[in-house]
Amino acid sequence: MGVLEDKANARLFYKYLSTVYDEVNSFIWTAEMRREALGLLSLERDDRVLDVGCGTGFGTEGLLDHVDTVHGLDQSVHQMERAWEKFGKHGRVRFYRGDAERLPFRDDTFDIAWSSGSIEYWPDPVAGLAELRRVTRPGGQVLVVGPNYPSRRVLQELADAVMLFYDEDEADRMFREAGFTAFRHLTHGPRYSPDIAITTVAEVTE
């Protein structure tokens, strides 16, 4: 397990990274990638949408182009403080401080659950995925963006030491174990690394 797949370590990491997150992040997780991920969803303006690990709100901002309100949850108050600066604390985004693996919502609360760039920090990603499924209504969709497993061996060792990176086979296993039966993956990325991310969209069937 990588050093950042520990909730306390991840919180400490984001206490410092939050100050420069938006600048650094834009090289790895681009507006074009976000557009591609959003294109996998069927969104209606009045959908109830959850963004797990919303951070400073990059994914949230994309979702707000399509829906009126987003519910954003993150375990790092430092990351959410940056998001409050953008969206206000009580505007179109409702914020929750919480844990992806124990979501504070009833079953079937949302039409869409989205999580971009957060699963790699969850110590038990299958538990987190099962939570996304639980809080999404049957017929709804769950979308997760995570880091694709690098193909070069030297990078694999580094990746494994830091956090979760996964390929399509591993994504298949995790989504199945979390109870999903219908899902597909897209690998994408910026021009300099076109398969840096793996995005999975899953239908909630029951």
Judged by beta carbon, residue 59 or residue 189, the one nearer ligand SAM is: 59
180, 188 contact by CB (below 8 A) = no
If we measure between CA atoms, which residue out of 72, 202, 75, 199 comes closest to residue 130? 202
Q: How far is the CB of 155 from ligand SAM (least distance, A)?
A: 18
Judged by beta carbon, residue 109 or residue 181, the one nearer ligand SAM is: 109
If we measure between CA atoms, which residue out of 94, 194, 190, 186 comes closest to residue 146? 186
If we measure between CA atoms, which residue out of 119, 68, 75, 113 comes closest to residue 96? 75
Pick the binder of ligand SAM from 25, 69, 109, 187 (CB under 6 A). 25
Q: Which stretch binds ligand SAM (CB under 6 A): 63-71, 117-125, 159-167, 184-192?
A: 117-125
**Residues in 72-101 that interact with ligand SAM by CB under 6 A:** 74-76, 79, 99-101
The reply on whether position 116 binds ligand SAM by CB under 6 A is yes
Pick the binder of ligand SAM from 33, 37, 41, 54 (CB under 6 A). 54
Q: How far is the CB of 63 from ligand SAM (least distance, A)?
A: 10
Instruction: State which amino acid sits at residue 58.
Output: F
Judged by beta carbon, residue 36 or residue 99, the one nearer ligand SAM is: 99
The reply on whether position 105 binds ligand SAM by CB under 6 A is no
Which structure tokens are listed for 73?
């949850």
The reply on whether position 199 binds ligand SAM by CB under 6 A is no
Question: For 25, phi and psi rounded to 5 degrees?
Answer: -60, -35
DSSP bridge pairs for 133: none
Which of 60-88 are b and which e, b meaning 16 or more Cβ less than 10 Å from the residue's Cβ?
bbbbbebbeebbbbbbbebbbebbbeebe
The reply on whether position 122 binds ligand SAM by CB under 6 A is yes
List residues binding ligand SAM (CB under 6 A).
Answer: 7, 10, 14, 25, 29, 53-55, 58-59, 74-76, 79, 99-101, 116-118, 121-122
